[in-house]
Every structure is written in structure tokens, then in C-alpha cells.
Structure 1
Amino acid sequence: MNLDPLEIIIHIINIIALFAILRFLLYDPIHSFMASRAQNISSRLDEADEAKENALKAKEMYDALISDSEEASEKKLAEIIIKANADAEAIVENANDRANAIISDARGSAEAERKDILDSVRGDITDISLKIAEKILSREISESDNRRIINSYFDGRE
């Protein structure tokens, strides 16, 4: 291999010229492209951070709304349960009042029927006593005759 100093100098000049041309043609456009890309990425990251903050604020707002609605629904449910219990108590009280009225009416009817039966039985007993006394007084009879008359009268009534 021949190393001619002139060729080495030409190669060094070519390399320097190529470096200068490439720097002029490639470095500045690539550098500006990379700078704009870095700025674009930075702005997108800022937008992402802002969107994240907005999402967190919206989440907090919706969590508060959910909490409020849960509290409201629990309160409404408690009111409904209280009203249902009051309605149930009113229904039971009304039913008890009606049952007591029915029982009272039944007792009154039973008492009236009992009085009617007692009056009827008293009347029958009175009639029987009068007829027995009439038969006893119509003739003088012995005690055995009295028993026979009474027994025959009661046997005839059955």
C-alpha cells in the first residue's frame, strides 16, 4: 500500500468538505426537527398532565355526587321504612279495633241470646211448676203419686 501524502491531504480535505456539506444539509434540519419534536412532546405531556388533573377533578366531583346520592337514598329509604312501620302499626291497630268491636258485638249478641233463653226457660219452668201444682192441688196425692206425676210430666216434655 502506497501512502502518498498528497492523497492523504486530499482525503482529509474531502472528509472535511463532506463533513461541512453534511452538517449544512443534514445537521441543522435534523436539529430543528428534533427541537420541534421535543417541544411537541413537551406540549403533549403538559396537555396530558392537564387532562389528568381535569379527570381527577371530575372524579372527585362525581365521587361527591355519588356520596350525596347514596346519603339521600339512605335517608329516603329510612323515611320509607318509618312510614311503612307507621302504616303497619295503623293497620294492626285498626284490625285490633275491628276485632274488638266484632268480639264486643258477639258478646252482646250472646248475652242477649242467653237472656232470651233464660226468659224462655223461666217461662217454661213457671208453666211446668204451675201445672204440677195444679195437679197436686186438684187431688190429694201421696208422695209417690207426686213423684210419678212429676216424672210423667217431664217425660212427656222430652
Structure 2
Amino acid sequence: MSFVWENFVWAIVAFGILYFLLSKYAFGPLFSVMEKRRELVKQQLDEAASSRTQAQQYIDEQKEALATARKEAHDIIEQAKRSSSLQADEIIEKAKEETTRLKDSAARDIENEKEKAIAALRGEVSSMSVAIASKILTKEIDEKDQTELVGQYLNEVGGKQ
């Protein structure tokens, strides 16, 4: 194999012309497409980072809103417990007051009935005393007759009940 200078020169000239034509018509558009692609990738990376930041902010906001909602729910539950406790205390207090009122009313009714019974008994006793006294006055009796008479009247009073 021998080295031919003419072929070598023609190859360099052809390569130069090819390089000039490629740089004028192919490399410029190719590099501009590559630059556009690089800018597009950079823009997408920036958008992805921005989206990631926005997503993280949204997640943080949602966590904060959830924590606030949980706190509000807990506060509502605590308030309901306090309210129900107060209502239970009020109901118990009203029941105690009603019980006391009913007990006092019953005691008054019992006292009134007792006084009526005592008054009726006094009336009965006084009428019996008058009847006994009138029987005694109409006839003279001894102790045995007096005991029998009192027993008889007591039986009569016992029968009236």
C-alpha cells in the first residue's frame, strides 16, 4: 500500500467543503434544535421544581387545615361534654328541688290530716264523755257497771270505724 498525496489532498479539500456546508446549513439548525431542547428540559425541570414546591405548600396547608379541624372538633366535643354535664347537674338539681317540694307538701298534707283526725277524735271523745256522763247521772252505778259502760262505748266507737 502506497501513500498517494493527491488523494490525500482531495480528501482534505472534500472534507473542508463538507465541513463548511455542514456548518453553514446543518450545524446551525442542529445546534439551535439542541439549544431549544436544552431550554425545554431546563424549563420542565424548573416547572417540576415549582410544582413540587407548590405541592409541598399545598400538603402543608392541608396538614394545617386538618390539624385546625381536629382541634375544632376536639373543642366542640369538650364543649358538648361540659354542656351535657351542666344540663345533667341542672336536671339533678331540679329533681332534688321537686322532691323536696313534694316531700314538704306531703308533710303538710299529713299534718293537716293528723290535725283533722285529732279534732274529730276530740269531738268523738267529748260526745262520748257527755253520753257517759249523762248515763252516769241517770243511774247510779258502781265501779263494775262503770267499767262495763266504758267498754260498751269503746266497742261502739270501734264499730264505727
For Structure 1 versus Structure 2, the TM-score category normalised by the shorter chain is 0.7 to 0.9
Give the CA deviation at 1:51. Answer: 0.7
**What amino acid maps onto 1:72 in structure 2?**
E
User: Counterparts of 2:21 and 2:114 in 1: how far apart (Å)?
Assistant: 131
Is the counterpart of residue 138 in structure 1 residue 123 in structure 2?
Answer: no
Deviations 1:133-156 (A, max 9, x none): 322232222333222222322333
Counterpart position of 2:77: 77
Query: TM-score, with normalisation over the residues of structure 2?
Result: 0.73
1: CA distance between counterparts of 2:135 and 2:21? 161
Q: Please name the residue that 1:57 is paired with.
A: 57
Q: Secondary structure at 1:141's aligned position in 2?
A: coil
- Pairwise CA distance, 1:107: 0.7
1:111 equivalent in structure 2:
111
Letter in 1 for 2:124: D
Aligned to 2:121: 121
Shift of 1:36: 2.5
Aligned pair count reads 153
In the alignment, residue 113 of structure 1 is paired with which amino acid? E
Structure 1 portions without partners, runs of 5+: none
Q: Amino acid of the residue matched to residue 53 of structure 1?
A: T
The CA distance in 1 between the partners of 2:21 and 2:99, in whole Å, is: 110
Partner of 2:47: 47
Amino acid corresponding to residue 108 of structure 2 in structure 1: G
Alignment-derived partner of residue 153 in structure 1: 153
The 1-side partners of 2:55 and 2:97 are apart by 62
Cα separation, 2, equivalents of 1:121 and 1:22: 145
Note the residue ranges of structure 2 that are not aligned, 5 or more in a row.
none
| Residue identity opposite 1:71 in structure 2 | K
Q: Measure how far apart 1:116 and its partner are.
A: 0.6
Equivalent residue for 1:38? 38
> 1:26 Cα deviation (Å)?
6.2
Q: CA deviation at 1:61?
A: 2.1
Q: CA deviation at 1:49?
A: 0.7
Q: How far off its partner does 1:102 sit?
A: 1.6
Distance 2:155 2:103 in 1: 39
Q: Percent identity?
A: 20
Q: Secondary structure at the match of 1:144?
A: helix
Matches of 2:153 and 2:74, distance apart in 1: 82
